[in-house]
Amino acid sequence: MNAILEQNNYLDGMGVPAVDSLVSLAPASAKLYDELTKGFAPESAALNSPQSYWIAFNAWITNELSRRIMKTEVSDSEFGGFLWAAYASSYWGGMELRENWGMPPAMERLGIALEPPYLETLDNLAATFNSRLSVMAQGNDKCLDYVDDLLHEDLNAGALWNTAYNAGCQVIKTEDAPIGQRRPHRRPQPSMVRINTRDFMRVDYELPAPEYLRVLRSAFEVAVTSQPETYEQIIVGKDGQKDLREIWAGGVGFGNTSWGDGANDAWTDEYFDDTLHWSTVVNFGLEAVSLACFAALINKDADLARRAVMGNAMYAGMATGWLLGMLNVEGSLPARG
């Protein structure tokens, strides 16, 4: 364990970096962890590389919990565990990547250098979670008012930017220039994920989309074709908001900064293929949140808006988890399920 984190009680019950404000919102849940590891077991047995267990587990979690959020009734009490599971498994995925392949070059390129105990980063994550949970506590109608802000929020907590960025990262890995930065020793896989800066809200996968995502794609298409003017107003935004087409293009392109320039050169083909597969799975829930935001706003569907806020909140911890997992060189991975 990291000595500074451990001595100052900045680790939760599962050894993940945390502060009191974060633990109160996203408490570690050994019960949920056991349930999820059992559910993931068949998938883990089919991995190409044993070095991709935690990145795959994280992706499987996001897809499974996204399904529950979009299709079932998730109570406030159990949702805190969802937040923790997505954040914690991201942390373990980042640690696994760094232990096996070294620090990603983008960390130095972007000038990211944080020292434990990461209090500001953890406090910021708690504030992000709290901003979503406080809206949910005020009721579904308040969620309906809020999803427009989530769509127009730029960078990694935004409900649209995240979808575009994560899908764009897969294109960077698989497509040739000028669209991507496929390395010469990687086989072309241009159909694995399709997204570009021009075709707004159009992303497709070679993997079959889960049922909850297909339902939301249909709801989105019906909504935007029946009320195109409302759709366009949402895209353009209110005074002070960035046009969503600009956010989309920025998200798609940002992968060139974080995962371009040979970031995956050292990976084995087996790890590369697992990462590509499971990073695509991560996008299922991200896209579902984006679609739900639009459909909720256009149809004035407050229940769907709440689900969109929940989904966005769950994904909001992933960037921080991956970051701290890569930076916390004295951390340790838990035993595999």
248-260 pLDDT, tens per residue? Answer: 999 999 988 888 8
Residue 309 belongs to what domain range?
3-327
The answer to the question of residue 332 being in a domain is no
pLDDT in tens, the chain (337 residues): 466 666 556 789 899 999 999 999 999 999 999 999 999 999 999 999 999 999 999 999 999 999 999 999 999 899 999 999 999 999 999 999 999 999 887 777 667 777 788 999 999 999 999 999 999 999 999 999 999 999 999 988 999 999 999 999 999 999 998 889 999 999 999 899 999 999 999 999 999 999 999 999 999 999 999 999 999 999 999 999 999 999 999 999 998 888 888 899 999 999 999 999 999 999 999 999 999 999 999 999 999 999 999 999 999 999 999 999 999 988 999 988 7
Instruction: Give CA 119 to chain center in angstroms.
Output: 22
- In single-letter form, the type of residue at position 42 comes to P
State both tokens at 236. Answer: 């353009």
Asked, for residue 336, whether it belongs to a domain, the answer is no
Which positions ≥6 away from 327 have C-beta within 8 Å?
107, 112, 114, 118
CB 318 within 8 A of CB 76: no
Residue 280 · residue 205 · CB < 8 Å:
yes
The angle subtended at Cα 44 by Cα 38 and Cα 45, nearest 5°, is 105
Supply the pLDDT for residue 258: 83
**Is residue 335 included in any domain, yes or no?**
no
334 within some domain = no
Which of 124, 206, 207, 197 has the alpha carbon at shortest distance from 161? 197
The total of structural domains in the chain comes to: 1
How many C-beta atoms surround the C-beta of residue 129 within 10 A? 24
| Cα angle 272-163-249, degrees, rounded to a multiple of 5 | 100
pTM: 0.96
